[in-house]
Amino acid sequence: MKRLIYPSPVEISKALERPSAGIGDIDIIVKEVLARVRAEGDVALREFSLKFDGFAPASFKVEESSFQEAEKHVPEKIRDAMRAALASITAFHTAQLQEPETVETTKGVKCWSRDLAIEKVGLYIPGGTAPLFSTLLMLAIPARLAGCRDIILCTPPGKDGKINPLILYTASLCGVTAIYTIGGAQAIAAMAYGTESIPAVCKIFGPGNRYVTRAKELVQLEGIAIDMPAGPSELLVIADESANPSFVAADLISQAEHGTDSQVIMLTDSRAMMEKVQREVEEQVMKIGRSDIAGKSLANSSLILLPDLDECIRVSNLYAPEHLIIATYNPYIHASAVVNAGSVFLGNYSSESTGDYMTGPNHTLPTSGYARSWSGLTTNSFRKRVFFQEVTARGLRVIGPATELLAGAEMLEGHRNAVSVRLKYLNDEQN
Amino acid sequence: MKRLIYPSPVEISKALERPSAGIGDIDIIVKEVLARVRAEGDVALREFSLKFDGFAPASFKVEESSFQEAEKHVPEKIRDAMRAALASITAFHTAQLQEPETVETTKGVKCWSRDLAIEKVGLYIPGGTAPLFSTLLMLAIPARLAGCRDIILCTPPGKDGKINPLILYTASLCGVTAIYTIGGAQAIAAMAYGTESIPAVCKIFGPGNRYVTRAKELVQLEGIAIDMPAGPSELLVIADESANPSFVAADLISQAEHGTDSQVIMLTDSRAMMEKVQREVEEQVMKIGRSDIAGKSLANSSLILLPDLDECIRVSNLYAPEHLIIATYNPYIHASAVVNAGSVFLGNYSSESTGDYMTGPNHTLPTSGYARSWSGLTTNSFRKRVFFQEVTARGLRVIGPATELLAGAEMLEGHRNAVSVRLKYLNDEQN
């Protein structure tokens, strides 16, 4: 890790730069995939699946029997741990189901809202070595709580041509309504446009490689909603001398192991802490299986010594980290000054990894500084708010004349007239 | 308007098709504007402003004195009506500021959320004949209620080179922090990237022509948040024989006058009502100033006779209208069956135009079927939710082992280790 001792603003900006991945020729490939799946449906799906992922199942849809079998292949201990995660995540996401406002804004003008489920949602879980069942928990639980009618999952199979039993078990645990063995940009295309075997959805959620991410961005331009823009994972730790250097180092490494483009940053007001953490990182990183990956992303990452903790918070807000650990004497004081962050962990025992599985809040969070304007996923990410209003005759007598005036000032006569015909009717009736 | 009598599903689909506007060569122009404003700042802004809008002010920023002058140019009656609108909109949007959840998901694991203001937001209001101050009310009021620090407005001037006093007065009424005389895609570029005179913002709101809309879509691909995808305005009315045909016709015309690409649809179970509304539309449309525009969009629009009101609601949910008026004997029953809509108006006296100005809910709403997955604007559109969690030593003893198991199952050793080092420390401490 790089060390910066009381850096200048320019040096800070440079250290906070995110590793960038160009679009390159991804766009050409993804656009072709989208266009062809749209035009040709399953035929194109099969072709791209064979070409990019090396498989093309007879049927994309996973049979009901595979769901039931999956449980047998998941050790009981893991099932117990998953059910514990399910309970925490459900508790937190249920609390998000608040009753929206009802307001009589004027006598006779009643206004209210209802949060209605998005009927059809599509979840994507990438393949690869690690089966990301925790992300499936984080997507499917709020989808079910929101009341989505169709919750479909697309995920590519492993080398054996089958979907990992951990994923199948999680899907059955969380109420996923259908699973399709398909990955990549072609899976996103299928969920956006629909094919003979895969239904179109209204909103697409979940992480993926650069092709998947780009496909989501491009279908969004066509009016398919997506969860949020994606980027590499990141962690910022603010630690003072009360922190435990071994814990801090373990947290930095845990985020660094996600991918070579991950970024971790420690801000501290203690030079001694900075040095201890650096030694701990060097020792601990050698002991994990993914030390190659972690080593590369740590090379992109910095330990930064700043004059005081207020300055640490200021720099953190500038960076807008996906994950923020505050390991200080009084983390509550510093947490109250947070302006931009995805998810914040307070104190020495709140490891970021507890948040990935067990604490309860969603782990699908804004990266790359998007925390300045985006939220992490909530149950409401699977719903939309609809407004309602009822204007009675009495209410119209109050707000009608002002509506006529304002519509007139905007030179929208038709808008004005829609009130005028009603007020005239009411006046005629009265006389 | 077209008339469809008990149409087949295929005929219904055809009638519900939205008028589509291709991207055409817009993309080339907008991409050049974005790239050049990003690279050259104010110089490019000035050039494009002169080229597309025919003006290039010495300074883009509007002087404080212009704010104060504006009030004088707005008649007192209009000012009173605006303040009434301000009160209703404020009441409804204040009620949206609910306290988010706090949950102890496990003993020793406390989780909560905070809704924090997006620090810098940019509002866009188009120029043209009608000064859309009502949209400025709908954007600036929730921005201020959310607590946004910088609320900037970009809007092009009229033919006299000046911004309409109605816009300036509204801006001062609602707490806009700075106004810039600039329109078009170049205004969006300025707010996305920042220039010497216009600061970059984190999220951009507001309607515009196809260049503005496309610019918003393209900067979103670069991580600048936008309010929602935009499309032409639309209204669907469900009317039974209890409706007033004159009111229904006035409502249809009021939406049709927005632009030639607007779309209005009436669904009814009463043939007599359909015929009366048609006659009323033909009469009333001749009387408004924008009858040319309204006439063209009415030609794209349909009156549809269906077997019963349940079928009307089903078709409405399929269409997912921006605005939905339910003018039936018992509108509450039908409103409870709404699945997809932006904003719903109940009963004979709730004209859609009252919602544009006076009822209280936001009038920035999802068009083009986006109501299937997008919400209208709320105060929360100007905030983002940040998650917090505190795991105590006691809490970690409970959720730590499950976290270790699940991280292990995802083959993320670093994640597991971040818990293990803490549990080991706690065990060593105990012994």
DSSP-assigned states of every residue in B229-289: -----EEEEEE-TTS-HHHHHHHHHHHHTT-TT-EEEEEES-HHHHHHHHHHHHHHHTTST
Position A21 scores a pLDDT of: 66
Angstrom CA distances, B95 to A203, B127, B380, stand at: 27, 32, 11
A79 lies within 8 A of chain B by CB: no
Domain segments of chain B: what residues?
Answer: 23-103+117-227, 232-375, 392-430
What percentage of chain A exceeds 90 in pLDDT? 83
Order of strands across the sheet that contains A302-305: A2-5, A302-305, A263-268, A234-239, A323-327, A343-346, B383-391, B109-117, B102-106
Residue B39: strand pairing partners: none
The radius of gyration of chain B's CA atoms, rounded to the nearest angstrom, is 26
Q: Which of B7, B179, B405, B200 is nearest to A358 (CA)?
A: B405
Burial class (CB in 10 A: 0-12, 13-18, 19+), B431: exposed
What percentage of chain B exceeds 90 in pLDDT? 83
Interchain proximity A257–B405, CB inside 8 Å = no
Taking residue B114's Cβ as centre, other Cβ atoms within 10 Å add up to: 18
Which chain A residues touch B387 with a CB distance below 8 Å? Answer: 342-344, 355, 361-362, 365, 376
| Mean of pLDDT values over B200-220 | 95
Chain A closest-CA separation from residue B290 CA (Å):
7
For A23-103+117-227, CATH number? 3.40.50.1980
Are A345 and A352 a contacting pair, CB within 8 Å?
A: yes
Position B323 scores a pLDDT of: 98
- The active-site residue, picked from A234, A322, A334, A363, is A322
User: Nearest-CA residue of chain B relative to A127?
Assistant: B410
Alpha-helix runs per DSSP H in B96-183: 133-146, 165-174
Are A108 and A391 a contacting pair, CB within 8 Å?
A: yes
Position B322 scores a pLDDT of: 97
Judged by average pLDDT, the poorest of B28-42, B57-71, B175-189, B335-349 is B57-71
Is B322 annotated as catalytic?
yes
| Mean of pLDDT values over B141-170 | 94
**CB within 8 Å of B99: residues ≥ 6 apart:** none
Q: pLDDT for B7-50, tens place per residue?
A: 999 999 999 998 776 667 898 999 999 999 999 999 999 999 99
B131 lies within 8 A of chain A by CB: yes
What percentage of chain B exceeds 70 in pLDDT? 99
Which chain B residues touch A420 with a CB distance below 8 Å? Answer: 250
> Is A232-375 in CATH node 3.40.50.620?
no
Distance between CA atoms of residues B111 and B241, nearest Å: 53
Are A27 and A214 a contacting pair, CB within 8 Å?
A: yes
Place of tokens 């079927």: B369
Distance between CA atoms of residues A263 and A234, nearest Å: 5
Q: pLDDT for B262-304, tens place per residue?
A: 999 999 999 999 999 999 999 999 888 888 888 888 988 999 9
- Please say if the pLDDT value at position B53 is more than 90: no
Structure token pair of residue A266: 């420690």
Buried b (16+ CB within 10 A) or exposed e, B14-34: ebbeebeeeeeebeebbeebb
Q: pLDDT for A350-390, tens place per residue?
A: 999 999 999 999 999 999 999 999 999 999 999 999 999 99
Distance between CA atoms of residues B278 and B267, nearest Å: 12
What is the dihedral sign for C-alpha A401, A407, A410, A411? negative
Distance between CA atoms of residues B122 and B208, nearest Å: 13
Chain A closest-CA separation from residue B45 CA (Å):
25
Domain B232-375 in the same topology as domain B23-103+117-227: yes
Which chain A residues touch B422 with a CB distance below 8 Å? Answer: 247, 250, 348-349, 351
**CB within 8 Å of A16: residues ≥ 6 apart:** A265, A315, A318, A319
What is the dihedral sign for C-alpha B55, B56, B57, B61? positive
Position A22 scores a pLDDT of: 65
The radius of gyration of chain A's CA atoms, rounded to the nearest angstrom, is 26
Place of tokens 């043939």: B271
B355 lies within 8 A of chain A by CB: yes
Residue of B95, B358, B384 lying closest to A374 (CB–CB): B384
Distance between CA atoms of residues A402 and B152, nearest Å: 27
Q: Which of A329, A251, A79, A316 is nearest to B419 (CA)?
A: A251
Interchain proximity B350–A223, CB inside 8 Å = no
Distance between CA atoms of residues B121 and B108, nearest Å: 38
The ipTM of this complex is: 0.96
Position A266 scores a pLDDT of: 97
Position A261 scores a pLDDT of: 87
pLDDT: which is higher, B125 or A288: B125
Q: pLDDT for B80-103, tens place per residue?
A: 999 999 999 999 999 999 988 899
Interchain proximity A346–B418, CB inside 8 Å = no
Which chain B residues touch A106 with a CB distance below 8 Å? Answer: 88, 358
Are A239 and A277 a contacting pair, CB within 8 Å?
A: yes
Which chain A residues touch B113 with a CB distance below 8 Å? Answer: 96, 361, 378
Buried b (16+ CB within 10 A) or exposed e, B342-381: bbbbbbbbbbbbbbbbbbbbbbbbbbbbbbbbbbbbbbbb
Distance between CA atoms of residues B381 and B379, nearest Å: 5
Q: Is A209 helix (H, G, I), strand (E, B) or coil?
A: coil
| Mean of pLDDT values over B40-65 | 91
**CB within 8 Å of A9: residues ≥ 6 apart:** none
Position A253 scores a pLDDT of: 95
Buried b (16+ CB within 10 A) or exposed e, A122-135: bbbbbbeebbbbbb
| Mean of pLDDT values over B378-398 | 98
Residue A325: strand pairing partners: A237, A345
Is B283 annotated as catalytic?
no
Interchain proximity B372–A202, CB inside 8 Å = yes
DSSP-assigned states of every residue in B191-231: HHH--SSS---SEEE----HHHHHHHHHHHTTT-EES----
Which amino acid type is present at position B114?
R
- The active-site residue, picked from A93, A258, A323, A334, is A323
Tens digit of each residue's pLDDT, chain A (431 residues): 999 999 999 999 999 998 776 667 898 999 999 999 999 999 999 999 999 888 888 899 999 888 888 889 999 999 999 999 999 999 999 999 998 889 999 999 999 999 999 999 999 999 876 789 999 999 999 999 999 999 999 999 888 888 999 999 999 999 999 999 999 999 999 999 999 999 999 999 999 999 999 999 999 999 899 999 988 999 999 999 999 999 999 999 999 998 888 899 999 999 999 999 999 999 999 888 888 888 888 988 999 999 999 999 999 999 999 999 999 999 999 999 999 999 999 999 999 999 999 999 999 999 999 999 999 999 999 999 999 999 999 999 999 999 999 999 999 999 999 999 999 999 998 87
Residue of A78, A246, A258 lying closest to B405 (CB–CB): A78
Chain B closest-CA separation from residue A101 CA (Å):
6
364-383 in B: which are within 8 Å (CB) of A? 365-366, 368-376, 378
User: pTM for the whole thing?
Assistant: 0.96
pLDDT-derived band of residue B69, with 50, 70 and 90 as boundaries? confident
Alpha carbon B331 to chain centroid, angstroms: 25
**CB within 8 Å of A260: residues ≥ 6 apart:** A293, A296, A297
Residue A123: enclosing H or E segment and its boundaries?
strand A120-124
Position B22 scores a pLDDT of: 66
299-338 in B: which are within 8 Å (CB) of A? 331, 335, 338
Position B271 scores a pLDDT of: 97
88-127 in B: which are within 8 Å (CB) of A? 88, 91-92, 95-96, 98, 100-103, 105-106, 109, 111, 113-114, 116, 118-119
